[in-house]
Amino acid sequence: MPSAELFRLADDHLEVVLCDGAASFRAHRELYRLPETAYHVSRGPNALHAELHDFIQSCKTPGATILKLHITVEWRRLLHICVGRQDVAWGDIMLLLNDAGISSAEMLAFRDAEYDDIFPWLYYAKRLDVLRKLCRRAKKQVDVKLAPADIRAACHLASADTQRIVASSL
Protein backbone atom coordinates (compact mmCIF):
# COMPACT_ATOMS: atom_id res chain seq x y z
CA MET A 1 0.00 0.00 0.00
CA PRO A 2 1.48 3.36 -0.98
CA SER A 3 2.37 5.65 1.89
CA ALA A 4 0.32 8.74 2.68
CA GLU A 5 3.31 10.95 1.84
CA LEU A 6 3.46 9.61 -1.71
CA PHE A 7 -0.29 10.17 -2.18
CA ARG A 8 0.12 13.74 -0.90
CA LEU A 9 2.92 14.43 -3.37
CA ALA A 10 0.80 13.19 -6.27
CA ASP A 11 -2.18 15.27 -5.15
CA ASP A 12 -0.39 18.53 -4.26
CA HIS A 13 2.23 19.11 -6.97
CA LEU A 14 2.58 19.21 -10.74
CA GLU A 15 6.23 18.16 -10.50
CA VAL A 16 7.58 15.86 -7.82
CA VAL A 17 11.00 14.43 -7.11
CA LEU A 18 11.95 11.03 -5.71
CA CYS A 19 15.50 11.03 -4.33
CA ASP A 20 17.54 8.11 -3.05
CA GLY A 21 19.26 10.13 -0.33
CA ALA A 22 20.24 13.48 1.08
CA ALA A 23 23.01 14.09 -1.49
CA SER A 24 20.58 13.54 -4.37
CA PHE A 25 18.02 15.80 -2.70
CA ARG A 26 20.55 18.64 -2.30
CA ALA A 27 21.86 18.24 -5.86
CA HIS A 28 18.38 18.41 -7.39
CA ARG A 29 17.14 21.20 -5.14
CA GLU A 30 20.17 23.35 -5.91
CA LEU A 31 19.57 23.05 -9.64
CA TYR A 32 15.75 23.06 -9.91
CA ARG A 33 14.64 24.98 -6.81
CA LEU A 34 11.31 23.16 -6.48
CA PRO A 35 9.46 23.58 -3.16
CA GLU A 36 10.79 21.30 -0.45
CA THR A 37 7.34 19.73 -0.14
CA ALA A 38 7.66 18.38 -3.71
CA TYR A 39 10.49 16.04 -2.65
CA HIS A 40 10.42 12.54 -1.24
CA VAL A 41 13.72 11.24 0.08
CA SER A 42 13.88 7.46 0.21
CA ARG A 43 13.63 5.78 3.61
CA GLY A 44 16.77 3.73 3.02
CA PRO A 45 19.36 2.64 0.48
CA ASN A 46 17.30 -0.30 -0.75
CA ALA A 47 13.84 1.23 -0.38
CA LEU A 48 13.74 3.36 -3.54
CA HIS A 49 12.63 0.55 -5.83
CA ALA A 50 9.56 -0.20 -3.68
CA GLU A 51 8.84 3.49 -3.15
CA LEU A 52 8.97 4.13 -6.89
CA HIS A 53 6.48 1.31 -7.40
CA ASP A 54 4.22 2.79 -4.67
CA PHE A 55 4.49 6.22 -6.23
CA ILE A 56 3.49 4.92 -9.66
CA GLN A 57 0.45 3.29 -8.07
CA SER A 58 -0.47 6.53 -6.28
CA CYS A 59 -0.34 8.43 -9.58
CA LYS A 60 -2.98 6.15 -11.03
CA THR A 61 -5.53 7.19 -8.40
CA PRO A 62 -8.31 9.64 -9.33
CA GLY A 63 -7.39 13.22 -8.52
CA ALA A 64 -3.63 12.92 -8.94
CA THR A 65 -2.45 16.07 -10.71
CA ILE A 66 1.23 15.32 -11.25
CA LEU A 67 2.56 15.96 -14.74
CA LYS A 68 6.27 15.22 -14.29
CA LEU A 69 8.26 12.92 -12.06
CA HIS A 70 11.96 13.60 -11.46
CA ILE A 71 13.99 10.67 -10.19
CA THR A 72 17.34 11.74 -8.76
CA VAL A 73 19.59 8.87 -7.78
CA GLU A 74 23.17 7.83 -7.35
CA TRP A 75 24.93 5.20 -9.49
CA ARG A 76 23.74 2.00 -7.82
CA ARG A 77 20.05 2.99 -7.85
CA LEU A 78 20.35 4.16 -11.46
CA LEU A 79 21.41 0.66 -12.44
CA HIS A 80 18.49 -0.83 -10.48
CA ILE A 81 16.02 1.37 -12.32
CA CYS A 82 17.63 0.59 -15.69
CA VAL A 83 17.18 -3.15 -15.22
CA GLY A 84 13.79 -2.75 -13.53
CA ARG A 85 14.53 -4.75 -10.39
CA GLN A 86 16.32 -4.58 -7.05
CA ASP A 87 18.98 -7.20 -7.77
CA VAL A 88 21.50 -6.38 -10.47
CA ALA A 89 23.95 -8.96 -11.82
CA TRP A 90 27.22 -8.39 -13.69
CA GLY A 91 25.60 -9.65 -16.87
CA ASP A 92 22.96 -6.92 -16.59
CA ILE A 93 25.64 -4.28 -16.14
CA MET A 94 27.65 -5.58 -19.09
CA LEU A 95 24.57 -5.41 -21.33
CA LEU A 96 23.64 -1.91 -20.12
CA LEU A 97 27.14 -0.55 -20.66
CA ASN A 98 27.53 -2.30 -24.00
CA ASP A 99 24.24 -0.76 -25.18
CA ALA A 100 25.50 2.62 -23.94
CA GLY A 101 28.71 2.40 -25.97
CA ILE A 102 31.29 0.72 -23.73
CA SER A 103 33.15 -2.12 -25.43
CA SER A 104 33.83 -5.50 -23.85
CA ALA A 105 37.56 -4.77 -24.03
CA GLU A 106 37.09 -1.62 -21.93
CA MET A 107 35.15 -3.64 -19.34
CA LEU A 108 37.95 -6.21 -18.88
CA ALA A 109 39.63 -4.04 -16.25
CA PHE A 110 36.49 -4.33 -14.09
CA ARG A 111 35.93 -8.09 -14.28
CA ASP A 112 36.96 -8.59 -10.62
CA ALA A 113 35.78 -5.20 -9.32
CA GLU A 114 32.58 -4.05 -7.67
CA TYR A 115 30.20 -2.39 -10.07
CA ASP A 116 30.36 0.77 -7.95
CA ASP A 117 33.93 1.16 -9.25
CA ILE A 118 32.66 1.77 -12.78
CA PHE A 119 31.03 5.14 -12.05
CA PRO A 120 34.27 6.99 -11.13
CA TRP A 121 35.91 5.61 -14.25
CA LEU A 122 33.08 6.88 -16.45
CA TYR A 123 32.84 10.22 -14.68
CA TYR A 124 36.53 11.11 -14.52
CA ALA A 125 37.17 9.79 -18.03
CA LYS A 126 34.50 12.25 -19.20
CA ARG A 127 32.30 9.46 -20.58
CA LEU A 128 29.25 11.59 -19.84
CA ASP A 129 27.58 10.35 -23.02
CA VAL A 130 27.41 6.87 -21.46
CA LEU A 131 25.96 8.27 -18.23
CA ARG A 132 23.32 10.21 -20.19
CA LYS A 133 22.36 7.07 -22.13
CA LEU A 134 21.88 5.21 -18.86
CA CYS A 135 19.69 8.03 -17.54
CA ARG A 136 17.61 7.85 -20.73
CA ARG A 137 17.29 4.08 -20.31
CA ALA A 138 16.02 4.54 -16.74
CA LYS A 139 13.61 7.22 -17.95
CA LYS A 140 12.19 4.82 -20.55
CA GLN A 141 11.68 2.12 -17.91
CA VAL A 142 9.68 4.53 -15.75
CA ASP A 143 7.83 6.20 -18.66
CA VAL A 144 6.37 2.84 -19.71
CA LYS A 145 4.92 2.36 -16.22
CA LEU A 146 3.60 5.94 -16.02
CA ALA A 147 2.14 6.08 -19.56
CA PRO A 148 -1.42 5.17 -18.48
CA ALA A 149 -1.42 8.14 -16.07
CA ASP A 150 -0.01 10.48 -18.78
CA ILE A 151 2.97 11.42 -16.60
CA ARG A 152 6.46 12.02 -17.95
CA ALA A 153 9.62 11.14 -16.09
CA ALA A 154 13.09 12.63 -15.99
CA CYS A 155 16.03 10.78 -14.52
CA HIS A 156 19.04 12.53 -13.01
CA LEU A 157 22.29 10.94 -11.85
CA ALA A 158 23.77 12.62 -8.79
CA SER A 159 27.26 12.22 -7.42
CA ALA A 160 27.66 11.94 -3.64
CA ASP A 161 31.19 13.32 -3.92
CA THR A 162 30.29 16.52 -5.73
CA GLN A 163 26.65 16.68 -4.58
CA ARG A 164 25.76 17.75 -8.10
CA ILE A 165 23.78 16.25 -10.93
CA VAL A 166 26.35 14.84 -13.35
CA ALA A 167 24.04 13.40 -16.03
CA SER A 168 20.38 13.60 -16.95
CA SER A 169 17.84 12.20 -19.35
CA LEU A 170 16.86 15.75 -20.35
pLDDT over 70 (residue 8): no
pLDDT digits (tens, 9 = 90+) for 91-132: 888 889 999 998 888 888 887 888 888 999 999 989 999 999
Q: Which string of DSSP letters, residue by residue, matches 39-90? A: EEE-SSTTTHHHHHHHHHHHHTSTT----EEEEEE-HHHHHHHHHTSS---H
pLDDT digits (tens, 9 = 90+) for 21-77: 999 999 999 999 999 989 989 887 678 878 888 877 776 666 556 678 899 999 999
Q: What pLDDT was estimated at residue 50?
A: 82
Please tell me the distance from the alpha carbon of residue 153 to that of residue 140, in angstroms, as a whole number. 8
Would you place residue 3 in the very low, low, confident or very high pLDDT band (cuts 50, 70, 90)? Answer: low
Please tell me the distance from the alpha carbon of residue 13 to that of residue 32, in angstroms, as a whole number. 14
User: What does pTM read for this prediction?
Assistant: 0.88
Could you give the angle at the alpha carbon of 53 between the alpha carbons of 63 and 67, nearest 5°? 40
Phi/psi at 168 (nearest 5 deg)? -150, 160
Would you place residue 1 in the very low, low, confident or very high pLDDT band (cuts 50, 70, 90)? Answer: very low
Q: What pLDDT was estimated at residue 138?
A: 95
> What is the separation, in whole angstroms, between the first and last Cα of the chain?
31
Please tell me the distance from the alpha carbon of residue 59 to that of residue 46, in angstroms, as a whole number. 22
